[in-house]
Amino acid sequence: MSDVIHELDTRRLLCPMPVIKTQNKVRTLQTGDQLRVISTDPGSLNDIPAWCRINGHEVLETGEQGHEVYVLLRVGEDNGALF
């Protein structure tokens, strides 16, 4: 498991793009990797955790910083990568 926290900037994107970009990024990561998704769409605080529950990823933290929201997740065993 990596100690590196990957970051994905989805600022200025509206639903469903933050979730789609998150899904695409997770496909490039390894099981156990962490990803912080930063967004200006407040719906991301619900949408990304819901996507994580459906796809077996763990939400470690969510929050708001000014006009931005973030979700920190840990990639589950099935990252959706196509081999």
Give per-residue burial for 43-80: e unless 16+ CB within 10 Å, then b: ebeebbbebbeebebeeeebeeeeebbbbbbbbeeebe
Give the active site residue among 15, 59, 60, 72. Answer: 15
52 is catalytic: no
Q: Which residues are catalytic?
A: 15
